[in-house]
Structure 1
Amino acid sequence: MKGKEVLSAIKKDMDEHVGEKVLLKANSGRRKVVVREGILEKTYPNIFVIRVDGTDNSSRMVSYSYSDILTQTVQLVFKSNNAAIG
């Protein structure tokens, strides 16, 4: 039961940062790490969505689960106050 409490605490913390710029560091497996800037668009009960700027004035949406933060597959640093999650 403790796992659900931790995930809900992560979601509650993320809810406070919706609309802010974020630095995303995601482990995509086998020594491949993606580092991008984006904006935290929306939080849902099980996932959160980040709008990432592309190379040619395009943007795309990526989504991750709160368990990705718990397992440190994804790390977020918010630009407004350098708060880190994950």
Structure 2
Amino acid sequence: MAKQTLADIKRSIECYVGQEVTICANGGRKKTIERSGMLEGVYPSVFTVKLDRDKYPIERLSFSYTDLLTESVTLSLAEKV
């Protein structure tokens, strides 16, 4: 696996803005949180995912690129049904 920098990670997810993605995050104590939504924005230090208000009580989640680098968060394109 090639080493990536934070800038490489940011560039690689910029092309997915506006697309449906699935986020799997480490919730602590052997819990995994999986949410799906639209990749809303890519900013200098974080990226945001807008969730469906009907499914989830919160509207938006934000994660840092370090979360992706350390693999505490994984990002994948949502499957089209």
Q: TM-score, normalised on structure 1?
A: 0.79
Which protein is richer in helix relative to its size? 1
Alpha-carbon contact 1:20-1:80 (below 8 Å) kept: no
- Partner SS for 1:18: coil
The residue matched to 1:28 in structure 2 has which SS? strand
Give the number of equivalent residue pairs.
78
Instruction: Determine if the alignment matches structure 1 residue 27 to structure 2 residue 2.
Output: no
Deviation string, structure 1 residues 17-41 (Cα, Å, up to 9, x no partner): 1000001101011111101111100
Task: Name the residue aligned to 1:7.
Answer: 6
Q: Which aligned runs of 4 or more in structure 1 are off by greater than 6 angstroms?
A: none
Q: Structure 2 stretches of 5 or more lacking a match?
A: none
8 A contact 2:45–2:64 mirrored in 1? yes
Task: Give the structure 1 partner of residue 44 of structure 2.
Answer: 45
Q: Is the 8 A contact 2:47 2:62 kept in 1?
A: yes
Residue number in structure 1 paired with 2:74: 75
Mark the runs of 5 or more structure 1 residues left unpaired by the alignment: 82-86
Q: How high is the sequence identity, in percent, across the aligned residues?
A: 35
Q: Which has the higher contact order (CA 8 A, sep 6+)?
A: 2
Q: Deviations over 1:19-72 (max 9, x none)?
A: 000011010111111011111000000000001124458651000000000011
